[in-house]
Amino acid sequence: MNQFEISGQSLYIVNGDQLKEFGQQCANVAVEHAQHVWQQQHDAQFDPVFTKKKVADMFDVDVRTIEAWIAKKIIRPTKIGGVIRIDGNEIVRIKQIYKQH
């Protein structure tokens, strides 16, 4: 790259390969930024989900207790691909109820 000064302004002359390399660097930065933004949005939009076993461990109860809570509609499960999961917001809600008893 050659740099010239004309009337107090810098002028750069680049060849095709340098321009291509600069374009690739810009594209890489744009892709990294897009991935970062997507990850932030993804994390903000999706609450974690847990298995009945994991929830049972959180509450220090048996899985059958979690199943009973589901049957009694104390816990509102979510089905994902036919598999029962319990989302993070539901855990917070149940913890508040569980503490009161």
C-alpha 40/C-alpha 12 separation (Å) is 37
Q: How confident is the model at residue 71 (pLDDT cuts 50, 70, 90)?
A: very high
Residue 65: other Cβ atoms inside 10 A? 15
pLDDT tens for each residue of 3-21: 778 888 888 888 888 888 9
Structural domain spans, the chain: 2-45, 49-100
Q: What is the residue-averaged pLDDT of the chain?
A: 84
Entry pTM: 0.51
pLDDT of residue 46: 56
